[in-house]
Amino acid sequence: MVTDRKIVSKDMKLYYFNDFEKKASPWESYHDGQLDITEDRQFQITSYGEDSGTIAEFELGNVTCNVNFTINRDQLAATTPVIFRVENADGETIHTQNIVASGYVQATFTLPNAGNYRFILSTTANNLFYIDDFYIYYLGGTNSNNFVSLFEPEVLNFSDFYPFGMLVPNRHASSNSYRYGFGYTNLAGTKQ
């Protein structure tokens, strides 16, 4: 087995992830927004006017958070943003971000104290948008001195052999990114 080890940031710890494959919880309707999961596993949010969409509540500590997700807002007018905001339990806004294009969205903010925080995605248009692969990370969450835990193995090639060296059928594979010096012809070569 050949592995390539990728360093995982020791400063990030996954708190929440949803790829919306089966369920949308803890996401709920916000100001009469209608929610659905599409056949291709995207979270569809239909907005019906002023500041409607979806909301989720999370209990978080006094940490710096990194939130990222993908958004498809192609059915909205270019001048109508999707608003991503984070509020504390008292309704005070901690973070707000206007999303004006489809694609990857990332936000980093520090929560002032431990407690319940509401994550809201909304728009003012009578239309719909989609989100997918929603992640919340704590930054500075894993201060591990365990060197091995800071790596994530990536298997690039594996092979099983019978005794005396014959390759076992259907028990081997190789990634296209693994070349180990053979180039694209799979032939060992030396430069003359």
Is 191 a domain residue? no
Element (DSSP H or E) covering residue 11: none
- Same domain assignment for residues 84 and 157: no
- Same domain assignment for residues 126 and 69: yes
Is 56 a domain residue? yes
> Residues 6 or more apart from 151 whose CB is under 8 A from it?
5, 6, 7, 8
Is 190 a domain residue? no
**Domains in the chain, number:** 2
Is 3 a domain residue? no
Is 65 a domain residue? yes
Q: Decide: pTM greater than 0.95.
A: no
CB 155 within 8 A of CB 11: no
Note down pLDDT in tens along the chain; length 192 residues: 444 444 555 567 888 989 888 788 899 999 989 999 998 889 999 998 788 999 999 999 888 899 999 999 999 988 899 999 999 999 999 999 999 999 999 999 999 999 999 999 999 888 999 999 999 988 864 444 444 444 556 677 778 889 988 988 888 777 766 555 555 555 555 555
- Same domain assignment for residues 30 and 105: yes
Nearest to 149 by CA among 16, 13, 17, 15: 13
- Same domain assignment for residues 177 and 109: no
Is 2 a domain residue? no
Q: Can you name the residues that pair with 174 across neighbouring β-strands?
A: 157
- Same domain assignment for residues 80 and 171: no
- Same domain assignment for residues 130 and 51: yes
- Same domain assignment for residues 91 and 177: no
Is 155 a domain residue? yes
Tokens, residue 140: 């500075």
- Same domain assignment for residues 50 and 117: yes
Is 48 a domain residue? yes
Task: Give the residue numbers spanning the domain of 39.
Answer: 8-139
- Same domain assignment for residues 66 and 120: yes
The gap between the terminal CA atoms of the chain, to the nearest Å, is: 31
> Residues 6 or more apart from 124 whose CB is under 8 A from it?
47, 49, 50, 51, 80
Task: Give the count of beta carbons closer than 10 Å to the beta carbon of residue 134.
Answer: 22
Task: Give the count of beta carbons closer than 10 Å to the beta carbon of residue 71.
Answer: 22
